[in-house]
Structure 1
Amino acid sequence: MIDQVSPRDLPRWLQAAADVGTPLLLDVREPAEWAAASVRPDGTELLQLPMHLVPARLHELDPDRPVAVLCHHGGRSMQVAMFLAQHGFDRLANVAGGIDAWSLQVDPTVPRY
């Protein structure tokens, strides 16, 4: 199952997920997007990996680890979360609304683009 988690509620999801290991925030945007705006919530490890590289680097990800997936608005991250679910990942969250919602709900200093 893929949880739909707003940026505002992500800390609660991360805390609950931490019982099985340090959660991974998988940012699947492109490098130019990371340069424009980025976040790193407390209690997570951040991995910036463009969506198109996820299949080739799937072996680098631990299916037993909780993974929250982030993009600009939530569409790409949901596609990646569904791909991960098809490959045995079962502790997944899609950050609904993406980094744009993060700026609106959590931290207005995160630039919107």
Structure 2
Amino acid sequence: MIAQVRPKDLAQWLRDARAHGEPMVLDVREPHELQTASVTADGFTLRAIPMGTIPPRLAELDPQQPIACLCHHGARSQQVANFLHSHGFEHVVNIAGGIHAWSDELDPSIARY
């Protein structure tokens, strides 16, 4: 079971995750979505890899690195988190509610779409 982390609780997850390395937020949305709304890396590495390209690009990710997956509402990122976990990634969570919730809970300047 993949843990769910609300955006408002992400700072605590980031602090805890540091025990396993530099945490990353993996944004799995499409490029046009990133142009509409994006988060700013603050206390984490930010990486954007669209969901459909994760399997062929899996080697670009470190299975030991803590990864929090992000999408629009949380469904695609949940699928990616499950996929990563099934491929040996141990420190993976899903950002519940996605960037939509991030805008509501952390940064209202992020566009909602």
TM-score range relative to shorter protein: over 0.9
The percentage of counterpart residues that share the same residue type is: 56
Could you tell me which residue of structure 2 aligns to residue 83 of structure 1? 83
- What's the RMSD between the two structures over aligned residues? 0.8
Could you tell me which residue of structure 2 aligns to residue 28 of structure 1? 28
Task: Could you tell me which runs of 5 or more consecutive residues in structure 1 were left unpaired when the two chains were aligned.
Answer: none
CA–CA distance in 2 between the matches of 1:3 and 1:95? 9
Task: Measure how far apart 1:41 and its partner are.
Answer: 4.0
Task: Could you tell me which runs of 5 or more consecutive residues in structure 2 were left unpaired when the two chains were aligned.
Answer: none
Task: Measure how far apart 1:106 and its partner are.
Answer: 0.9
Q: So what's the TM-score if we normalise by structure 2?
A: 0.97
Does the 8 A contact of 1:11 with 1:41 survive in 2?
no
- Opposite residue 57 of structure 1, the aligned amino acid is R
Could you tell me which residue of structure 2 aligns to residue 100 of structure 1? 100
Could you tell me which residue of structure 2 aligns to residue 9 of structure 1? 9
Q: So what's the TM-score if we normalise by structure 1?
A: 0.97
CA–CA distance in 1 between the matches of 2:43 and 2:82? 24
Aligned residues: 113
